[in-house]
């Protein structure tokens, strides 16, 4: 298993310059002995550059640093809200287009490319999954626009 982690570090280690931190292996389900590769990254990170799984291990990521104001959730709010609601990504990209383009070093980056990069690699897939989880009652309801 450590070989898989070494291969992952070799293949994706160049992303460390962009803020990626490879934290190592972690067991998330002791009963089934399920391990994952744990990483951390800044919020503004091109998630399209990372796989969801690598050689049979899921990649679990956490955001390091502050989130933009669109994603802040009031801790004492009566109604819980879904921090990764698709509309939040859209509002952030619309508000900070130039800043995002500058951060990614791509002055011609389209809105859709920014959404894909920030929303876990594929914005439309994230939106579909979020709507389904909301319908299934797994996450709090959110506005679609």
Query: Residue 94: which residues within 8 A CB-CB, separation 6 or more?
Result: 111
pLDDT at 77: 65
Is the pTM higher than 0.85? Answer: yes
Q: Where are the domains of the chain?
A: 2-64, 69-135
User: pLDDT per position in the chain (145 positions), as tens?
Assistant: 889 999 999 999 999 999 999 999 999 888 888 999 999 999 999 999 999 999 999 999 999 999 999 998 877 766 788 999 999 999 999 999 999 999 999 999 999 999 999 999 999 999 999 999 999 999 999 888 7
E-strand stretches of 1-145: 21-29, 34-42, 53-54, 57-64
pLDDT at 21: 97
Tokens, residue 77: 């709010």
Query: Residue 13: which residues within 8 A CB-CB, separation 6 or more?
Result: 22
Query: What is the three-class DSSP state of 99?
Result: helix
Among candidate residues 46, 143, 29, 133, the one with its CA nearest the CA of residue 87: 143
Distance CA 76, CA 78 (A): 6
């Amino acid at each position: 298993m450590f070989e898989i982690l070494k291969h992952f570090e070799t293949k994706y280690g160049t992303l460390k310059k962009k803020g990626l931190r490879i934290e190592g292996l972690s067991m998330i389900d002791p009963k089934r002995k399920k391990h994952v590769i744990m990483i951390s990254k800044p919020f503004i990170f091109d998630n399209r550059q990372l796989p969801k799984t690598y050689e049979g291990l899921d990649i679990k990521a956490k955001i390091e640093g502050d989130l933009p104001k669109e994603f802040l959730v009031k801790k004492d709010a009566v109604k819980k809200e879904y921090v990764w609601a698709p509309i939040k990504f859209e509002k952030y990209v619309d508000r900070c287009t130039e800043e995002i383009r500058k951060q990614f070093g791509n002055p011609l980056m389209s809105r859709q490319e920014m959404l894909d990069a920030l929303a876990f690699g594929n914005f439309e897939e994230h939106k579909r999954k979020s709507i389904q989880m909301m319908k299934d009652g797994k996450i709090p309801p959110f506005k679609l626009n």
